[in-house]
Every structure is written in structure tokens, then in C-alpha cells.
Amino acid sequence: MSELIALLPGDGIGPEVIHQARRVLELYRDKAGVDVELWELDLGAERYLRDKTTFPKDIADRIAKEARAVLLGALGDPRVGNLDYARDILFGLRFGLDLYANIRPVKALDDRLVPLKNRGAKDVNFVVFRENTEGIYVNVGGQFKRGTPDEIAINEDLNTRKGVERLIVAGFEYARAHGAKTVHLADKSNAMQHAHELWYRCFFEVAKRYPEIKPQHVFIDALCLYLVQDPSSFEVVVTNNLFGDIVTDLGAGLQGGLGMAGSASLHASDPKRVGLFEPVHGSAPPLAGKDLANPFASFLTVGMLLEHLGHPAEMARIEALVARGIRERRCTRDVGGELGTRAVGDWFLAELLRELEQA
């Protein structure tokens, strides 16, 4: 039975990289027997500018009931005066599908991508588990006396025991499955004594279930320092929504830039549920339509998607082929090559086809 994959190319460079990612999925479908049905959605800035559509209920319902995955390009367009349409789509997927675990691998695939002195690819290999449905991004709050000298703006940081615990459990389960010896909690419990005390207490209570794994605590500001001093000390990091958003961009800098960063957002306790997969480079409007966007993040994201569908060996295959592309400079300028988006895709598809035919 075919598994339904919704494709949401989005804005800016999103359609360019998702087109290349679609070619990879089509190759697996046609040459490797991965039975998927690809459903491309007309959503994003162009649709919003046309008729004000953001995230229709019928599409949201079909994704929730029928899809196994959503592959999202990027959202954001300077022609739109605000990001309300993007929030409707992105938060509609994350919150609406309860995709509470955002999983961001931070892995350098070549020494020359690592910007740190005396550090190489072997030193950059960790995963961040970011809570994805709570925290400061739930948009609880408001503004009072807007536009006056007495204006007040409030955003509440919402943390529930259920939300915190299940994210921490997901991090420890991943560590156990992948043989990691440590899990780090990154918080600010010294300053946020209510919300982050919950994280701190819950973390060490959950850790008791995993005696083979050493729980480590680090404040988020210290984590940022340690990551640029010696990232090799970290294997799995669990943290809240806001801190996870920030520290994963720092991580992307360690692995060669946002053009090398893929992600998955999952309901981690039920792997059969729909997952959201995103290259996390953003829409990058200045690069759109110029054949400059790096498609490797979208390929690595497809690898995570295939793993979600039950094909873990293909994640390793795609990662190895991306690493070869970096090594041989069959890549875009941001990672040391001279090829355009389409040329990188053509090379990658040709090499992937050769490998699949030989398998």
C-alpha cells in the first residue's frame, strides 16, 4: 500500500530544493520499490497573495488522516507584510499534529566544513531534541496600550509536565538506541526558577530509567560557549522550544551552514504517525531563482524521511553520498564548490541511481 507524502515547496528557495528532493523520492519509488504517493500542495506566499489561503482545514484533515510524512521547503516572503500565513501552516503542522520532538542532527561531513580551529568532522556529531509544541512559541500573551509610551507586551512561556517529560524521554530513547553514553539538558533554571526547575527536576527523574546513560546538566549560555570550544563532548542535547531554535542554528554553523542542516518533527512515541521533515535553511529570498541554493540539506532530510518510512539504510547511503559530494566539490559555493542547484541535483541523482542499481 502506497504511503502518502505531502510536498509543500513553500517560498523563496523552497521550491528549488524541494524539486530536487522530489526527484530523489521519485527515484526511490521507481528504482528501489519504495511505495510512495507524492501529493504536492499549493500553499505558501504565492497562494496567500492570490486568495488569502493559509492552511485549509480539508488539507490539514487529509494530512492527519492519510499522510505518513510532510516534506516542507521553507516559508517566508518579503512581499507579504507579516508571517501570519506561515505561522498558520507551520504551527498548524507542528501543533495540530502534536509533533512534539524536533530532531536536529548536527554532523559535519568533511573537515573543511568545520569553522573551529584544530577541530574536524569527528568532533561535530550530536543531535538536539527541541520541544516543539510548548514554551514561548505557543503565543500566549498580548499587548496593552499598543503604540503608546506605556505599551506593555507579554509572551508567556508555557511548560507542562507531560510536554517536558515526553521530550526528555524521546532524547533518552534515542540515546539508548544509538549507543550514546550521555544526554545533556540545556536550560536556564538558575534564572527561570519555575518553568526550568520543572525541566531540571523532570530530567533527572527520567534519567533514573536509563542507568546506562549519564545525565548531564548545562545552562544554555554555557552550552553555546562549550560548543565552540569542544563540540565533541556532546552526543544528545534536550532543551525547550526557544533554546532549541537558537542552539541548532549554532550547530548548523559547526556542520557547514544551514545548507547542510536537515530536521524531523515527530510524535516520537508513535513512529507510525505522520512526521514533518524540513531542510532548515529558510526561504532565503535573495537567493531565490538564481540556482545558488544548496540542495544537500533537502537530501539529508529525505534520508530522515526514508528512515521514518522504515528504510534506515537509505539514510546512511544518502549521507555518504552527500559527504562524497562535499569531498569531491560536487557542491554549491557555500560549501566550497562551483555547481548550481540543478547541477548538484543532476550529479546526486546519477550517482544515487548507479548505487541503487548495483545494490
pLDDT at 95: 94
With residue 12 as reference, give the H or E element that holds it.
none
Q: At what angle do helices 312-327 and 296-308 cross, to 10 degrees?
A: 170
Q: How far apart are the first and last CA of the chain?
A: 23
Rounded to whole angstroms, the Cα distance separating 237 from 171 reads: 7
Predicted local confidence at residue 259, as pLDDT: 97
Same domain, 144 and 234: yes
For residue 263, give the C-alpha cell: 530536521
Give yes or no: residues 240 and 185 share one domain. yes
Q: Which of 229, 263, 297 is the last residue of a domain?
A: 263
Which positions ≥6 away from 307 have C-beta within 8 Å? 314, 315
Domain boundary among 237, 263, 289: 263
219, containing H or E segment: strand 214-219
Q: What range does the domain containing 305 cover?
A: 1-97+274-359
CATH code: domain of residue 112: 3.40.718.10
85 assigned to some structural domain: yes
* Nearest by Cα to 243 from 302, 180, 159, 316: 159
32 belongs to a structural domain: yes
Q: Are strands 67-74 and 275-279 parallel, antiparallel or unpaired?
A: parallel
Instruction: Determine the pLDDT at residue 67.
Output: 98
The radius of gyration of the chain from alpha carbons, rounded to an integer in Å, stands at 20
Q: In this predicted structure, what is the pLDDT of residue 329?
A: 98
| CA–CA separation, 26 and 254 (whole Å) | 31
DSSP structural state of residue 94:
H
Domain count, the chain: 2
> For the chain, which ranges sit under pLDDT 50?
none
Whether 47 is covered by a domain: the verdict is yes
133 and 162 in a single domain? The answer is yes
pTM of the model: 0.96
Task: Please give the order of strands across the beta sheet that includes 262-266.
Answer: 36-40, 3-10, 67-74, 275-279, 262-266, 101-107, 125-131, 236-239, 182-187, 214-219
Per this entry, what is the length of the chain?
A: 359
Cα maximum dimension of the chain: 69
**Rounded to 10 degrees, what is the CA torsion of 106, 112, 116, 121?**
40
